[in-house]
Amino acid sequence: QVQLAESGGGSVQAGGSLKLSCEYYIYANYCMGWFRQVPGKGREGVASIARYGAQLYADSVKGRFTISKDNARYTLSLRMDSLEPEDTGMYYCAAYVCSGSRSPSLRDDDYKYWGRGTQVTVSS
């Protein structure tokens, strides 16, 4: 059974940084990503990493967020710098089975497994 557990959310002022972590209990042949959601809106793909490390970022976070995966520690991370109030939301870790040649994806309907989320609040 696939399990994903996010941590690291919190409240920060604009310009600050946070690092989110997702502990996963799955095999290595998964692509993974981070999504966020605010009330009344759909989930937005933020960053994705394919099996062998290729990454994809939403335009709104390029240059500010960095996704990384440590298979030895079973941890997916999202480093968030220069945070803006618009980054506020519930952040979810997600995964799906993918081949080694699969490119990273920010489409939420590609993902089958989801964590429960961790809240990030950025104040101006």
CA angle 112, 116, 121 (to 5 degrees): 125
- Per-residue tokens: 85: 């109030």
Percent of the chain at pLDDT exceeding 90: 85
27-83: pLDDT as tens digits: 668 999 999 999 999 999 999 999 989 999 999 999 999 999 998 899 999 999 999
Question: How many Cα atoms within 13 Å fall on the side-chain side of residue 123?
Answer: 4
Give one word for 82, left, alpha or beta, with left for phi > 0 and alpha for psi -120 to 50.
left
Cβ proximity of 108 and 94 under 8 Å: yes
Residue predicted with more confidence, 2 or 114: 114
How far is 102 from 89, CA to CA, in rounded Å? 28
